[in-house]
Amino acid sequence: MPVRSQLARQLEAMGIHDDRVLWAFDQVPRRLFVPPALQESADGDHPLPIGHGQTISQPFVVAYMTERLELSGSDRVLEIGTGSGYQTAILAHLSALVYSVEIIPDLSARAAEVLLERLRLPNVHLRVADGWSGWPEKAPFDRILVTAAAPFVPPALAEQLRSGGRMVLPVGEAQGPQMLKLVAKDEQGEVAVRDLLPVHFVPMTAGRPLVS
């Protein structure tokens, strides 16, 4: 493994131990995904605003959620909430294919500029749509990651998770307590849900894609 960046070393000190996850953080500069005025704060372990009432999650949360997915490198991954595209880029370095859904067209377009034009990630596919519905045409998925809080596990996402798959998502109300949860589906299709840690995410937006 190459020498780790300061951010990757910080994440390791905070309890992230998967070498592949730490390697991915070395490959993806967070400053590419934040507004120009905030680039000096890009490597801080805190969320930053990206417009439209949305945020780029703090690096520890991105790393923690990614680690809990237990990616093998050959996975087909569905991400709900492209946002800035930072989490998408991390997933792309650790997975075979990443399908990412964003309801806000402007955010999806900005993420596409970085992911597809600047970083030229060939395994990333973006879509502007309602994340509640997932991406049924591309299902099933080995892993699903949701970056906005839902009041409960969306049934469509549980349905699109492959047997033996894992989903990580925050569950809770916008102004109330939220819990990051791990959803595991066994080979018989039975689903088990486990609490991971308290979090605070922007709420998942249901309905038609928002006009930018």
Q: Which of 5, 41, 57, 72 is catalytic?
A: 57
pLDDT digit string (tens) for 85-116?
999 999 999 999 999 999 999 999 999 999 99
User: Which pLDDT score, from 0 to 100, does residue 53 have?
Assistant: 85
CATH 3.40.50.150 fits 6-35+46-199, yes or no: yes
pLDDT digit string (tens) for 9-20?
999 999 999 999
179 Cβ contact partners less than 8 Å away, ≥ 6 residues apart? 170, 171, 172, 195, 196, 197, 198, 199
Q: Are 121 and 92 in contact (CB under 8 A)?
A: yes
User: Which pLDDT score, from 0 to 100, does residue 208 have?
Assistant: 39
Kindly list the domain boundaries of the chain, sorted by start residue. 6-35+46-199
User: Which pLDDT score, from 0 to 100, does residue 1 have?
Assistant: 56
Q: What average pLDDT does range 38-45 have in this prediction?
A: 83
Question: Encoding tokens for residue 178?
Answer: 């939220």
Q: Tokens 């999806």 label which residue?
A: 108
193 Cβ contact partners less than 8 Å away, ≥ 6 residues apart? 153, 181, 182, 183, 184
* Residue 23, burial from CB neighbour count under 10 angstroms (0-12, 13-18, 19+): middle
123: amino acid identity, one letter: N
Counting every residue written for the chain, the total comes to 212
* Calpha distance 131→139 (Å, rounded): 13
70 Cβ contact partners less than 8 Å away, ≥ 6 residues apart? 166
Predicted model pTM: 0.93
57 catalytic per annotation? yes
Cα end-to-end distance, the chain, whole Å: 41
* Residue 25, burial from CB neighbour count under 10 angstroms (0-12, 13-18, 19+): buried
pLDDT digit string (tens) for 156-172?
999 999 999 999 999 99
